[in-house]
Amino acid sequence: MEDHDKQILDDSRAIWDANAEAWDSRIGSGGGWQTVFIAPTVEQMLNIQAGEQVLDIACGNGQFSRRLAELGASVVASDFSPKLIELAQGRTTEHVDRITYHVTDATDEAQLMALAGTQDTRFDAAVCINAIMDMPAIEPLFRSVAKLLKPEGRFVFTVMHPCFNGLAMGMQPELDGYDSEPTYSIKVSGYLSTERTMGLAINSQPRKQYYWHRPLHVLLNSAFSNGLVMDRLEEPTLKTDTPPKSAFDWANYDMPPLLFVRLRPAG
């Protein structure tokens, strides 16, 4: 890794450490967007069976790692932020024997491969929720996951949808007249360029974080050229029966905020 890239990665980790408390308070032990919107589709795609060995990469405060343990899995959870791992450990009071937490940089193949441990474990499943767009390099992650999974294993990841949800995209509610229904559009002012930007994931975080936008062909070809094939893709809606909270609520939009992808070793 070049000095400049290492500096960005170190800076990114320092930012996640600084934002860790705010992130942990928002995610808490569940109930928000993570559990209500993301987890149901991820769980369906993963189809975890009791006793399976599962890798949770970039686990944040470990909320989904604990859910996996609740489903009966043995979980190896990791994140590059020591502060988030400390908070994750502090929140783990049940199924303690079924989760181990590690400080691991997911852009470093050697660190990821070390998650196999002394038993050289091959995992039944791996998951990475909403973190790939926070990483400056994704090839090491895909390459390692292809090797860490059993031949019939599966890897599910979610990202901000590269076509509709990013810093080059803006929500545009419009009302043509008082007697008409509003229309809800997304203005896309950039898509094909692979770009680094900075922004907020949640309003309460003290520091802006890095984002790496990748168009679909860059994101998915990176997985395909590193030993994985795709067998399922989901784009769930946030539309519900309850009225949207504002014109900028995703529930108004016939567009998905996140992309859910399932990959398997190419064999």
Site residues (vs ligand SAM, CB under 6 A): 12, 16, 27, 34, 58-60, 63-64, 79-81, 84, 105-107, 129-131, 134-135, 201
CB of 163 to ligand SAM, least distance (A): 19
CB of 30 to ligand SAM, least distance (A): 10
Q: What span, in angstroms and rounded, lies between the C-alpha atoms of 128 and 158?
A: 7
Those residues whose C-beta lies under 8 Å from the C-beta of residue 38, and which sit 6 or more positions away, are: 129, 130, 158, 258
CB of 24 to ligand SAM, least distance (A): 9
CB of 79 to ligand SAM, least distance (A): 5
CA 176 remoteness from chain centre: 37
Q: What span, in angstroms and rounded, lies between the C-alpha atoms of 40 and 37?
A: 7
Q: Which helix (H) or strand (E) holds 145?
A: helix 139-148
Instruction: Choose between 101 and 184: whose C-beta lies nearer to ligand SAM.
Output: 101
CB of 243 to ligand SAM, least distance (A): 27
Instruction: Choose between 2 and 176: whose C-beta lies nearer to ligand SAM.
Output: 2
Q: What span, in angstroms and rounded, lies between the C-alpha atoms of 20 and 84?
A: 6
Which pairs count as long-range contacts for 131-135, CB under 8 Å and 24+ apart, including other chains? 131/57, 131/58, 131/60, 131/106, 132/157, 132/159, 132/219, 133/159, 133/160, 133/211, 133/212, 133/213, 133/214, 134/12, 134/16, 134/58, 134/209, 134/210, 134/211, 134/212, 135/58, 135/106, 135/107, 135/212
CB of 9 to ligand SAM, least distance (A): 6
CB of 175 to ligand SAM, least distance (A): 33
Query: Rounded to the nearest 5 degrees, what angle is found at the Cα of 137, between the Cα atoms of 133 and 138?
Result: 70
Give residue for tokens 């996951």: 145
Instruction: Choose between 80 and 155: whose C-beta lies nearer to ligand SAM.
Output: 80
Instruction: Choose between 52 and 105: whose C-beta lies nearer to ligand SAM.
Output: 105
Chain residue whose CB lies nearest ligand SAM: 60
Instruction: Choose between 60 and 265: whose C-beta lies nearer to ligand SAM.
Output: 60
Instruction: Choose between 24 and 124: whose C-beta lies nearer to ligand SAM.
Output: 24
Which residue from 12, 7, 38, 6 is spatially nearest to 199, judged by alpha carbons?
Answer: 12
Instruction: Choose between 88 and 252: whose C-beta lies nearer to ligand SAM.
Output: 88
